[in-house]
Amino acid sequence: MCVESDGCEMEGCSSSDEVRTLSGSMSPGLKSNPDLHPCKPGQKFRAALLRCRSPTAAAGILSFGNVLNYMDRYTVAVFICSFMVAAPIFGYLGDRFNRKVILSCGIFFWSIVTLSSSFIGKEYYWLFVLSRGLVGIGESSYSSISPTIIGDLFTNNSRTTMLSIFYLAIPLGSGLGYILGSSAKVAAGDWHWALRVSPVLGITAGTLILVFVPEPKRGSADQVGGRIKSRTSWFCDMKALAKNRSYVFSSLASAAVSFATGAFGMWIPLYLTRAQMVQKTAEACTKEICSSTDSLIFGAITCVTGLLGVVIGAATTRLCRQKTERADPLVCAVSMLGSAIFICLIFVVAKKSIVGAYVCIFIGETLLFLNWAITADILMFVVIPTRRATAVAFQSFTSHLLGDAGSPYLIGLISDGLQENYTTSTLWRFLSLGYALMLCPFIIVLGGMFFLVTALFFLDDREKAEKQLNQLTRPPSSVKV
């Protein structure tokens, strides 16, 4: 009998053995045709390759791709508008066509466009803006579809763990993006070099997705052995999502998180630089390329807090599920309300202590990042598999539209308005930006309230999703092999 080893090898094969495929049964063609038997030369390699396509390996590859996604996103972020517009399109495609092919095409597309944009000169600025918009289109395919594959490979606590690993990419990739952009700008004297590293890694990730990531049946983790026998229309999907209260309120809460992280990523390094100028520990930079110490420190803090936040969030949720079935939205709500407190303290202590400000940033971001993976897990519980890509896409659309697509501009507008008559005052330039950034903790509190409302409807919406999935699923006994 063929035995699957812990690695990617097959042991003990003979010409009469039956080899289990990923679905647990052998293809009828392989049984009847000895020339196609996996243990024959050529076919043995293919069989070994299939063994490497484990759900855990697939989740790891998708997580690696998501790190690159967010690295590229925050290196130059003018593409967010096109990203959020394209996401619903890929949500529709992801619910109806082969997801791994769409993912690979998307990652190849954004890698090529990113590399090409790094060679565009200043005289063709409009072309550079267009190219960054195209990158947003490519990356939207990845963010909209990848979580749904993980949702169909795992369930319950295992799914929470794998989604946590996947969503580590948000803070990790964002932090690496800051570090990459700042380091490349200083080392090469040209920020274009920041756009020439991620494309190589992106092409590698796209190839790994094509080779090793399986395309699971939609709902296979939720209904083992069953098969979705029908698919609803796009209009019906949108109508159902609009009526899904847990989905709507958790999406609004996600937009609040996006608002804060977008504003912080743009303005906190500058705010801390101005704080040092007020303390007279730093001077205003008059060079074309200035030191990026604060950006590097903030990027490193973002990486570490993202790791801690997502890991602590997953562990806390699993523990709290033993006490209450509403654990997911309640953990998100408490973490956001706690985060708002420490983010407020940033603007209190920054004038006197930069170290104190960094401590508050560390704790505030850790609490804020607790909910990234949990929010996705909430979506998996309350939305049926055949419309999850659409749900993820429109949640992303909402998060960007109400969040980071406008928050950096809004904060800058408020700050400029406050310092309009005192542009030469170092102290007032620092204070005006701080007052503008104080909008973020209020938005975070609002997001925490949205999660509390989500907790009220979570169990009802989860039950409705389970009943609808049972109605759409053909039982295992009726599935033809």
Give domain status of residue 480, yes or no. Answer: no
* pLDDT at site 356: 92
pLDDT tens per residue, range 183-211: 666 665 566 666 777 787 788 888 888 88
Give domain status of residue 37, yes or no. Answer: no
pLDDT tens per residue, range 140-154: 787 788 888 888 888
Position 382 pLDDT exceeds 90: yes
Q: What are phi and psi of 474, to 5 degrees?
A: -80, 130
pLDDT band at 19 (very low <50, low <70, confident <90, very high): very low
* Element (DSSP H or E) covering residue 370: none
Closest Cα to residue 418, out of 437, 402, 440, 444? Answer: 437
Give domain status of residue 185, yes or no. Answer: yes
**Segment of 121-125, 305-309, 372-376, 440-444 carrying the highest mean pLDDT:** 440-444
What percentage of the chain carries pLDDT values higher than 70?
74
Q: Of 72-86, 230-244, 271-285, where does mean pLDDT reach its minimum?
A: 72-86
Give domain status of residue 119, yes or no. Answer: yes
What percentage of the chain carries pLDDT values higher than 90?
23
DSSP 34: G
Q: Which structure tokens are listed for 364?
A: 């505030």
Domain interval for residue 82: 56-473
* pLDDT at site 327: 93
Reduced to 3 states, what is the DSSP secondary structure of residue 473?
strand
Instruction: Check if the beta carbon of residue 450 is closer than 8 Å to that of residue 249.
Output: yes
Question: CA-to-CA distance for 42 and 59, rounded, in angstroms?
Answer: 27
Give domain status of residue 393, yes or no. Answer: yes
Mean pLDDT of 310-324: 90
* pLDDT at site 340: 95
Phi-psi region of 287 (alpha: psi -120 to 50; beta: other; left: phi over 0): beta
pLDDT tens per residue, range 206-233: 888 888 888 888 776 666 555 565 567 8
pLDDT band at 339 (very low <50, low <70, confident <90, very high): very high
DSSP 41: T
Give domain status of residue 24, yes or no. Answer: no
Question: CA-to-CA distance for 118 and 133, rounded, in angstroms?
Answer: 14
Quote the Cα angle for 378-246-320, to 5°: 45
Q: For the domain that residue 427 is a member of, what is the CATH number?
A: 1.20.1250.20
Higher pLDDT, 389 or 27: 389
Give domain status of residue 12, yes or no. Answer: no
Closest Cα to residue 134, out of 99, 160, 110? Answer: 110
Give domain status of residue 381, yes or no. Answer: yes
Position 397 pLDDT exceeds 70: yes
Query: How many domains, in total, are found in the chain?
Result: 1
pLDDT tens per residue, range 243-259: 999 999 999 999 999 99
* pLDDT at site 470: 78
* pLDDT at site 20: 35
pLDDT, averaged across the chain:
77
Mean pLDDT of 299-306: 81
